[in-house]
Amino acid sequence: MVILTIAVGFYNVIARYIGRLIGLKLSSNALIELQWYLFSLMFLLGFAYILKQGANVRVDFLYARWSEKRRALVDFLGTVFFLIPFCVLGIWVSVNPVLQSWGQLPDGTWGSWEISPDADGLPRSPIKTMLIVGFALLLAQAISQAIKYLAILKGYAHGVQILQEDAKQLPLE
């Protein structure tokens, strides 16, 4: 997805300059919006992966010196009291705007999709739907992480072992 985003962006830039040089429009708003959509997808679909890999930002000067159980406790509390409710709230707040974008009218009937107001723009409903998908994936990973932190707190597993087992399951590219 990153390579595709870069390729679309590269084409947009080259097409704009060559188009100006020869007097033709070689790019379109659809391609510019496609680049925005792909960029958004990288983040929306990447948040759960970032959480799984432990690549999220931490205050390491404190966190690194704590014992494994203390880190697991802080991570568990943060996940249960902040991340999971945030994901649920994000899904709940997004459902109605997404349905309206797909064309749901106030009386419950269906109309046309929401389309970009720009000329040659793309439909907005597929990318808005990805908000819910991104929050759902993050919620699923947050629940998985909370279970792992709880296992560490209960003494069933060591965090390093759990994370290493997860890393072994990832396909190498």
SS (H, E, C) the chain: CHHHHHHHHHHHHHHHHHHHHHCCCCCCHHHHHHHHHHHHHHHHHHHHHHHHHCCCCCCHHHHCCCCHHHHHHHHHHHHHHHHHHHHHHHHHHHHHHHHHHCCECCCCCECCCCECCCCCCCECHHHHHHHHHHHHHHHHHHHHHHHHHHHHHHCCCCHHHHHHHHHHHCCCC
The stretch 49-60 carries a mean pLDDT of 83
Note down the domain range covering 137: 2-169
pTM tops 0.75, yes or no = yes
Structure-token pair, residue 84: 């999971």
Domain count, the chain: 1
Tell whether the model's pLDDT for residue 80 goes beyond 70. Answer: yes
Tell whether the model's pLDDT for residue 173 goes beyond 50. Answer: no
pLDDT in tens, 121-166: 899 999 999 999 999 999 999 999 999 999 999 988 765 555 555 5
Of the ranges 7-11, 39-43, 64-68, 127-131, which one carries the lowest mean pLDDT score? Answer: 64-68
Tokens 């496609």 -> residue:
34
pLDDT in tens, 8-27: 999 999 999 999 999 998 98
Tell whether the model's pLDDT for residue 71 goes beyond 60. Answer: yes
